[in-house]
Amino acid sequence: RPGLAKCAGTMAWEWSVAE
């Protein structure tokens, strides 16, 4: 589902449109 996904092992966030 669309939303913000936290990059594992980092403090960065990425916008994701994956389910």
pLDDT tens track for 1-19: 778 887 777 777 777 776 6
Reported in sequence order, the residue ranges of 1-19 that DSSP labels E, i.e. its strands, are 3-6, 13-16
Instruction: Tell me the pTM.
Output: 0.07
Q: Which pLDDT value is given to residue 6? A: 75
Residues 6+ apart with CB under 8 A from 10: none
| Among 16, 19, 17, residue whose Cα is nearest residue 8 | 16
Spatial neighbors of 16 by CB under 8 A, at least 6 apart, are 2, 3, 4, 5
pLDDT score at 19: 64
Output the pLDDT for position 18: 66
